[in-house]
Amino acid sequence: MSPTVGLIVNPVAGRDIRRLTGGASVSSNYAKRRTAACVLEGVTMADDAEVLVMPDNAGLADRIVDGAPEDLTVDLLDMTVTASGEDARNAAKRFSDAADAVVVLGGDGTNRDVAHGIGDVPVVSISTGTNNVVPTAVDGTVAGIATGLIASRAVSADETTVRHGTVEAVVADGSGERRIRGLATLGLLDQQFVGTRAILDPEDVIGGVVSRASSNEIGLSGIAGGLAACRPDDPGGVGFRLGTTSEPQQEVHAVTVPGVLSRIPIEEYRVLDDGEVFAFDVATAVVSADGERELEVRDADVRLQPVSDGPRFVQIDAVVERAAKKELFRIE
């Protein structure tokens, strides 16, 4: 059977308000299309591979299909377009059964949407978002090569993928319990409404839990990274609660938005085991997931915990290195 590659390209990734308020990069649809073209060229290294592209209402997927290499079978995935995050979630569910590997062009939010339904299918994540923690900045051609090698099983996915952690919130209020899942971060903001969705001011942050923490990352995972290190595939995570600028227990420097280095007061933090709860009682707040405001809460008990059951991300360098050792790049 021919290897099947799924391609998910989010046409609105990399275009939120943070590009105006900070130093975040902008990813145009032309740039995404060129990256996708590079991916498809790389996938041609896998013999007889087929690619299915998630459709969208911007015509981006149509142009990707029209410009595909002649020696590669590329078609649109047959699905209804909603012009929302549901598209990536629905495509991921379809690809969980139909694809041998999936390429995602988007930011943290797109990868979170994909994580909801992709199951154990290996994911190659390419950064085209605004404020990325999870996806990787990598040449599309190299990413496509790695995808084709994994999809065709020329290189073992078991040896070249890592299971990314997630973070789960259980919100208990007068109306019962609600749950929300983040891939890298879940935070609580001192805000009443979702509004622009993007997190712009670190003074809005009450606290949060992250599944990965490093000072070279941006946003909540960068704040946590000033306190403790946690790799994406490490079990557990880091929970923290911000303090006041007048009497902080501790302070860290963190890049909270691209181009903005902030001084963050910390009241409390804790390295968490897998499933260990870090709780907040809030009168009014907004829950954020992977850098975007998602859920308004009132008079609620919010219990956050890291959960080690996320998607399998392909380590592109590891794939290429193993392929070279197996002499797969040599032409007879």
Domains of the chain, residue spans: 4-163+310-325, 166-307
pLDDT of 18 reads 44
pLDDT attached to residue 19: 45
CATH of domain 166-307: 2.60.200
* CATH for the 4-163+310-325 domain, from 1.25.40, 3.30.160, 1.10.1790, 3.40.50: 3.40.50
Terminal-to-terminal C-alpha distance of the chain: 24
Place of tokens 């983040």: 182
pLDDT computed for residue 128 by the predictor: 85
Measured distance CA(125)–CA(143) in Å, rounded: 8
5 φ/ψ angles, rounded to the nearest 5 degrees: -115, 130
Per-residue pLDDT of the chain (332 residues; tens, 9 = 90+): 899 999 999 998 754 444 444 445 567 899 999 999 999 999 999 999 999 999 999 999 999 999 999 999 999 999 999 999 899 999 999 999 999 999 999 999 999 999 999 999 999 999 986 567 898 889 999 999 999 999 999 999 999 999 999 999 999 998 889 999 999 999 999 998 886 656 667 889 999 999 999 999 999 999 999 999 999 999 999 999 998 766 767 999 999 888 889 999 999 999 999 999 999 999 999 999 998 999 999 999 999 999 999 999 999 999 999 999 999 999 98
pLDDT for the residue numbered 195: 65
The model carries a pTM of 0.91
Q: What angle do CA 310, 315, 320 make, to 5 degrees?
A: 155
